[in-house]
Amino acid sequence: MRVRLWGRQISCVLLLLTQEAQAGEAPSSSFDCVIEPHQVVKLASPVVGVIAELNVDRGDVVAKGQTLGKLEDGVERAGLALAETRAQNEYSIRAIQARLEFLSKKDGRAGELLSKNIMSQAAAEEIAAERKMSEQQLKEAELNLDVARLEVIRAREVVRQRELLSPVTGVVVERLLVPGEYRNEQSPILTLAQIDPLRVEVIVPITYYGRIRTGSVAKVRPEEPVGGEYRATVTIVDRVLDASSGTFGVRLALPNPDLALPAGIRCRTILDMDSDPRRTEAKAAP
């Protein structure tokens, strides 16, 4: 009796595949899968210090570039204010410019007096040397001002390193530290998950190898209570097979722009299949 039932089921499957081939559609097969985040990030800071504030908690949705918190930065902000004040100080340049203008006029008058033999050569050369010295002092003052402006950029970067910025758009999975705790070189602060797009991992028997193409569209059906059917795209077909289990991996990208679908749930996926490549080669052989 069981043999007859199995025979009928196999006949039905063969009939469906034949009908799909006659209709010009590629056959498809259903496999177990798991929906996972596109990536999981252990967010840390490039510097150590005491956490001053965290603006998010588990389950919060965050955007890329959003400020999630910061470390204590009082000393760094004071250094930034000092650098900005120095970068705005142009009084030394103005003083040297005024002196240089005076010495330039004085040098011109000295040249006239020297030509009339009213001033000695030594006195005229001394005035010319003072003018050249003032020119060099002006260049040095302008260079110092440029360095002060670069110090502002550096100080801002030091302050920015104390901020926690989200590298992805997604959700907060876990908050590992709280304000007041010390963050060292090895302790992350937050765990973030990017869930748009989602990543669907499928394990497929080796017998289907060569029949799944990257770029093809698949259907993903999450298990209850999520349910529903969603379209995904094949992004990766493994080229290294697992001999021990007789399987290989396939990865799909599942769009999730409104973040409605959760990650970490089982599913079934229906993959479009090409015709068996071995049969194609057999037909093409002379």
- Across the range 81-105, mean pLDDT stands at 90
- Model confidence band, residue 3 (pLDDT cutoffs 50, 70, 90): very low
- Across the range 263-286, mean pLDDT stands at 70
pLDDT of residue 11: 43
Full-prediction pTM beyond 0.75? no
The radius of gyration of the chain's CA atoms, rounded to the nearest angstrom, is 37
Q: What percent of the chain has pLDDT above 90?
A: 64
- Model confidence band, residue 151 (pLDDT cutoffs 50, 70, 90): very high
Least confident span in 56-65, 107-116, 148-157, 169-178: 107-116
Q: Hey, which CATH number is domain 40-72+164-191, 1.10.620.20, 3.40.50.1820, 2.40.50.100, 3.40.50.10860?
A: 2.40.50.100
Distance CA 222, CA 162 (A): 40
- Model confidence band, residue 204 (pLDDT cutoffs 50, 70, 90): very high
- Model confidence band, residue 120 (pLDDT cutoffs 50, 70, 90): confident
pLDDT of residue 275: 66
pLDDT of residue 100: 85
CATH code, 25-39+194-280: 2.40.30.170
Distances (CA, A) of 58 to 171, 177, 191, 259, 262: 8, 12, 9, 15, 14
Are the C-beta atoms of 107 and 128 separated by less than 8 Å? yes
pLDDT of residue 96: 87
pLDDT in tens, 31-57: 999 999 999 999 999 999 999 999 999
Are the C-beta atoms of 38 and 261 separated by less than 8 Å? no
Tokens coding 46: 């490039």
Least confident span in 18-22, 158-162, 234-238: 18-22
